[in-house]
């Protein structure tokens, strides 16, 4: 039976294999596409790049405006295609401070809730 560390190493190796396969696929694709077509595609990308940037800026600006207005309104707004969901601010607590206070007043521990543990997996390498 593999240890967790061994399985993590195995997962890392599989991720590396996938990246290598994707790189190989791009390389093969580049070999197949004639240079003239590659140049034409690059020119097309350049032609649309400025238009795409303009629309992205417009989207970002409109999203910020909508967010500001929904915050002022204080409620979710829905349309057929979109929804701007208003969320109340999150409440957080200084756990160190509360645990320190609990030493003198144990009754506060009655209100403590603890969720189930969970695991996240991510690469430790910069990708």
Per-residue pLDDT of the chain (127 residues; tens, 9 = 90+): 888 888 989 999 999 999 999 999 999 988 999 989 989 999 999 999 999 999 999 999 999 999 999 999 999 999 989 999 999 998 888 999 999 999 999 999 898 888 888 888 787 776 5
Let me know if residue 67 belongs to a domain.
yes
Does pTM surpass 0.95? no
Task: Name the nearest CA neighbour of 86 among 97, 73, 99.
Answer: 73
* Residue 10 and residue 121 in contact, taking contact as beta carbons nearer than 8 Å: no
Residue 76: domain span = 49-110
Let me know if residue 31 belongs to a domain.
no
Let me know if residue 12 belongs to a domain.
no
Let me know if residue 21 belongs to a domain.
no
Let me know if residue 41 belongs to a domain.
no
Domain count of the fold of the chain: 1
Let me know if residue 18 belongs to a domain.
no
User: In the 3-class helix/strand/coil scheme, how is the chain assigned residue by residue?
Assistant: CCCHHHHHHHHHHHHHHHHHHHHHHHHHHHHHCCHHHHHHHHHHHHHHHHHHHHHHHHHHHHHHHHHHHHHHHCCCEECCCCEECCCCCCCCCCHHHHHHHHCCCHHHHHHCCCCCCCCCCCCCCCC
């Amino acid at each position: 039976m593999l240890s967790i560390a061994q399985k993590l190493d195995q997962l890392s190796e599989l991720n590396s294999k996938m990246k290598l396969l994707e790189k190989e696929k791009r390389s093969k694709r580049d070999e197949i596409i004639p240079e003239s077509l590659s140049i034409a595609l690059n020119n097309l990308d350049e032609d649309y790049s400025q238009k795409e940037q303009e629309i992205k800026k417009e989207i970002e600006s409109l999203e910020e405006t909508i967010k500001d207005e929904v915050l002022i309104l204080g409620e979710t707004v829905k349309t057929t295609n979109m929804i701007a969901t208003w969320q109340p601010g999150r409440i957080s607590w200084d756990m160190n401070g509360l645990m320190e206070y609990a030493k003198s007043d144990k009754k506060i521990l009655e209100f403590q809730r603890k969720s189930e543990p969970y695991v996240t997996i991510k690469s430790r390498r910069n990708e």
